Chain A
């Protein structure tokens, strides 16, 4: 994926997550753990997954939900299913 597109993806996903979790986007670093650092729960993760699917018109299997722990994971999952 070209760098510009990847940067956009990072920013878009950061905004999606910030809106769902209701926190400032700056707090969502690539490595910040959704549960430990950002206070998220499994249902918020499910909402993020659903928002990713809607935005990028992808289908991510349920079993991938436990791989969604950071913004970095969200980017990777999106990239994997955009292919």
Chain B
């Protein structure tokens, strides 16, 4: 329901740091679901790790944060924020993510305001939870 052009119109991140490919569901003020396709072509696999490519947990968190930014911007349309800063994050990782996986990010709003928001976050691969937690970010 939201392609890459629309995603880029809402968040400032760009290559090599755009961690979402498609948004498939968005309920303003409530939740968002988005996908990130993990490809062996991505540059960080050269070092993370040599001969054992594993998608970095920090980038799973980044995908979650980017989805939450889109949810915030769509929920508060007149919000003129252009930058987002993570201020708190607590995520538990359950399984590794590897090239070929499709990362399914699900974000639910805990509290959303014009200065930022708190979100419940989950990431799934093949409908199995690979990471979950909470994050807070500020926007300016």
Contacts and interface: CB of A to CB of B under 8 A. Distances in A.
Interface of A: 41-44, 46-47, 49-50, 53-54, 62, 65
Main secondary structure of the interface of A (DSSP, over half): helix
Contacts of A54: 110
A43 B114 contact: no
A43 B115 contact: yes
Contacts of A44: 87-88
A54 B136 CA distance: 15
A49 B116 CA distance: 13
Contacts of A49: 111
Contacts of A43: 87-88, 115-116, 136-138
Interface in B62-97: 87-88
A46 B114 contact: no
Contacts of B114: 62
Interface residues of B, number: 13
Given A50-B110, A50-B111, A54-B110, A41 B87 contact: yes
Contacts of B87: 41, 43-44
Nearest to A41: B87
Interface of B: 87-88, 110-111, 113-118, 136-138
A6 B110 CA distance: 26
A8 to B, nearest CB: 24
Contacts of A41: 87
Given A43-B136, A43-B138, A47-B88, A62 B118 contact: no
A5 to B, nearest CB: 25
B118 A50 contact: yes
A45 to B, nearest CB: 9
A42 B111 contact: no
Contact of A42 (B110, B117, B118, B138): B138
Contacts of A53: 111
A41 B116 CA distance: 12
B113 A47 contact: no
A60 B118 CA distance: 14
